[in-house]
Amino acid sequence: MITLGIVLSLLLLSQAVKLTQTMFSPWKVTSSKSYLWNGDFNLNFLIRAKEISLVSFNPKDQKINFINIPDATFLEVARGFGKWQVSSIYDLGGDDLLRASLSQFFGLPIEGILDFTGKFSKMPTDSLIMQLKDPFSLVSILQNLRSDLTPVELIRLKMGMSRVRFDKLNQVNLESKGILEKTGLADGTEVLTVDSQRLDSAISNMVDPVIKAEHKTIAVFNSTDHPQLAVKAARIISNIGGDVIITTNSEKRLEKTVISGEKSKTLDRLWQIFGDPNLAEEVSSRAQINVFLGEDFASSL
């Protein structure tokens, strides 16, 4: 009887371990991020269903902003694929390439993708957001969803979104704001091209209030031979609410991005986006936080 009890205890322990691993592992899609979203910062994610959309959930102010991206939007695809319509990117490289390309397009970190299947796959984004806000839809959503967010993150996201009032739900229309313009390619295909400055202005309501409130000054150094890398990183930092005061090249060359500076929520967020906190080192600079970009950041573009 003692032996049987030990065996049963081990089996129960094994199942508990498996359940814990499942709850903290990506939901059916491999994740590229090394941290778990805990609700401290905005969560930017893609919805892929009837249309492809960027959704930004602001847990501090309890706001949701979203942008539907027309299929004909013509943009630079990450990893050197050249320019393609957004509707073609998934077939080129799946979730990871789509996420990386749209992160580059918007100049925002994108932490995940919600790829809806089954009955949800033909729904427009505004209807899916209503489903995510519905506190009783969790089971049906998980049954019809592929995501690189973990079940814990998905539950936290649903609980947070369910508290957002309808007057705090905002859609940004890229075409009506003149951000996308129609143009023709050499083969006669009609596409939409972006005005990046207008785009950055249109997504200004997606800044993270936690980062903006701290108002930490940030210097960005390019520690590679890739041109304009500091400018690209500075755009991301500015779009989340960071105060970039320096963008320049560094004499040092790094394989891994190094970030150091004053202990703060801003520093924590930059570690999440760009680098490993274990690699931090002290440097002398006018800025409160210093970001030295390595080859790892260059290879993500």
Write the DSSP string, the chain.
-HHHHHHHHHHHHHHHHHHHHHHTS-SBS----SS---SSS-EEEEEESSSEEEEEEETTTTEEEEEEE-TTBEEEEGGGTEEEEHHHHHHHHHHHHHHHHHHHHHTS---EEEEE-GGGTTS-HHHHHHHHH-TT-HHHHHHTEEESS-HHHHHHHHHHHTT--GGGEEE--TTTTT-EEEEE-TTS-EEEEE-HHHHHHHTGGGS-HHHHHH--EEEEEE-SSSTTHHHHHHHHHHHTT-EEEEEEE-SS--SS-EEEES-SHHHHHHHHHH--GGG------SSSEEEEE-HHHHHT-
Give residue 277's pLDDT: 75
Q: Each residue of 210-235: pLDDT tens digit?
A: 999 999 999 999 999 999 999 999 99
Q: What residues does 45 pair with on adjacent strands? A: 55, 112
Percent of the chain with pLDDT over 70: 88
Q: What pLDDT does residue 10 have?
A: 45
* More confident of the two residues 294 and 24: 294
Q: What is the pLDDT of residues 251-284, one digit of tens each?
A: 999 999 999 999 999 999 999 999 877 776 667 7
Radius of gyration (C-alpha) of the chain in whole angstroms: 21
| Architecture of the domain spanning 43-171 | 2-Layer Sandwich (3.30)
Is the pTM here over 0.85, yes or no?
Answer: yes
Write out pLDDT tens, residues 115-152.
Answer: 998 889 999 999 999 999 998 898 899 899 999 999 99
Under 8 Å CB-to-CB from 75, ≥6 apart: which residues? Answer: 83, 84, 86, 101, 105, 194
Domain ranges of the chain: 43-171, 207-299
Contact predicate 263/66, CB 8 Å: no
pLDDT (0 to 100) of residue 19: 41
At 156-208, the pLDDT tens digits run 999 999 999 999 999 999 988 889 999 999 999 999 999 988 999 999 999 99
CATH architecture type of domain 207-299: 2-Layer Sandwich (3.30)
Q: What rounded mean pLDDT belongs to the chain?
A: 89
DSSP string, 22-89: HHTS-SBS----SS---SSS-EEEEEESSSEEEEEEETTTTEEEEEEE-TTBEEEEGGGTEEEEHHHH
CA dihedral of 123, 31, 279, 224, whole degrees rounded to 10: -70
